[in-house]
Amino acid sequence: MSSHTAFKELPIVNISKLFSSDLEDRKEVAKELGKAAREVGFLYITGHGIDKEKIAKLKDTTKKYFAQDYDTKMENYIGKSTNHSGYVPEGEEMFYGGKKDKKEAYDVNYDYTESKQIYPLLGPNQWPVMEGFKENVKEYYDSAMELGKVLLKGFALALDIDENSFDKFITTPPNQLRLIHYPANLDETNTQKGIGEHTDYECFTILLPTAPGLEVLNGNKEWIDAPLVEDAFVINIGDMLEVLSNGNFVATSHRVRKVKEERYAFPLFFTCDYETVIKPLDSIKPRFKDKKYDEVICGEHLYAQTIHTFTYLKNRLKNNEISLPESSKEIASYGKFKDM
């Protein structure tokens, strides 16, 4: 039986009171967050506080970047980076089932320059030589990161634990912001989806879309449309927060359908520090007594899933240039997909 309800639309939560100095205000919002996370695993948030000008600059910069020719974009091919950042051409990554997605992307990670790089997903970003790109994208990245920290406190309150319970896990998390471009697909014979069905690996995702296309799977196995809501972000629970919450929150399958209009999307995948052991928190009662979650090391799990998904890393693995982490699991074998 699915832990999801047969929802027909995504709930909308105004989170402005999460920024209040009054704990009761924050608990009021947390109650709504918890309900959405338990029953749907997806929601819209308004009152997020991110400046519209920052969002506008992000969109404008992204459009200019993807309007460049292929060879220029490939100068920053993701396979040239040390922390999995850079340009992702169409067909580079494939999700469950081995189908190619109809999209291109530029991936930006935590720009770790504090000391020598020791983890494959945590190091200096690869930035293109394009006026305003680094400044505008990083400005948005930093704002979304701060929003994520506030949301995580809200989710902690929703689980009836101290709102600072997760803080120790997010000192230098390898959070990833993806700038995604979905070209218009006007070929009636081409049924290629923008992104195939999947759940997100991380704790949760903060998504800024520019056009319709997102669909979410409900408890009746129906695909529910997630239309644009003005000045709102889409938030969805990922595998890791489902595990940390002992199944109280649910990671929800979603996809991007074939789009007939050009579409951009900006998901920030909010996760924990690389070495964090992801397992149900002892202080949280399990939602389902018969559902058990295996432990994984956060960064190793993310790296393994990335290896399974990206062509350049698959090739390096095949050529014995890299190896899978010892704690790694097969793709679609953790969190939401573990018992399917």
Q: Where are the alpha helices (DSSP H) in the chain?
A: 23-39, 52-66, 70-74, 133-158, 239-244, 298-309, 311-318
Structure tokens at 340: 């399917």
Whole-number Å distance between alpha carbons of 166 and 162: 9
**Strand order through the sheet with 223-225:** 195-198, 254-256, 214-217, 223-225
Q: What pLDDT, on a 0 to 100 scale, did the predictor assign at position 230?
A: 92
User: SS3 of 142, please?
Assistant: helix
**Helix-helix angle 311-318:298-309, to 10 degrees:** 100
**Strand order through the sheet with 204-209:** 12-14, 42-46, 233-237, 204-209, 263-270, 176-182, 104-109, 86-88
Local structure of residue 45 (DSSP, 8 states)? E
Query: Are 195 and 103 contacting, i.e. CB atoms less than 8 angstroms apart?
Result: yes
Whole-number Å distance between alpha carbons of 49 and 232: 10
Distance in angstroms between the alpha carbons of the first and the last residue of the chain: 11
* pLDDT class of 171 with cuts at 50, 70, 90: very high
* Range with the poorest average pLDDT among 168-177, 184-193, 227-236: 184-193
Q: What pLDDT, on a 0 to 100 scale, did the predictor assign at position 212?
A: 85
Per-residue pLDDT of 241-275, as tens digits, reads 999 999 999 999 988 876 678 889 999 999 999 99
Q: What pLDDT, on a 0 to 100 scale, did the predictor assign at position 233?
A: 98
Radius of gyration of the chain from its Cα atoms, rounded to whole angstroms: 19
Query: Are 117 and 123 contacting, i.e. CB atoms less than 8 angstroms apart?
Result: yes
* Range with the poorest average pLDDT among 19-33, 60-74, 87-101: 87-101
Bigger pLDDT: 98 vs 3: 3
Q: Which residue has the tokens 């009836």?
A: 160
* pLDDT class of 187 with cuts at 50, 70, 90: low
Whole-number Å distance between alpha carbons of 127 and 91: 21
Per-residue pLDDT of 29-85, as tens digits, reads 999 999 999 999 999 999 999 999 999 999 999 999 999 999 999 999 999 999 999
- Indicate the helix (H) or strand (E) that contains 44: strand 42-46
Local structure of residue 118 (DSSP, 8 states)? -
Fold entry, domain 12-337: Jelly Rolls (2.60.120)
Q: Which residue has the tokens 């790296």?
A: 303
Overall size of the chain counted in residues: 340
Q: What pLDDT, on a 0 to 100 scale, did the predictor assign at position 213?
A: 83
Using the predicted structure, report yes or no on whether residue 178 has a pLDDT greater than 70. yes
Structure tokens at 21: 């100095």
Using the predicted structure, report yes or no on whether residue 2 has a pLDDT greater than 90. no
Written as one letter, the residue type at 92 is E
Mean pLDDT (the chain, rounded): 90
Per-residue pLDDT of 284-326, as tens digits, reads 999 988 888 889 999 999 999 999 999 999 999 999 999 998 7
Per-residue pLDDT of 202-218, as tens digits, reads 999 999 998 888 999 99
Q: Nearest Cα to 203, choosing from 162, 247, 241?
A: 241
Whole-number Å distance between alpha carbons of 311 and 48: 36
Whole-number Å distance between alpha carbons of 296 and 115: 25
- Whole-model pTM: value is 0.92
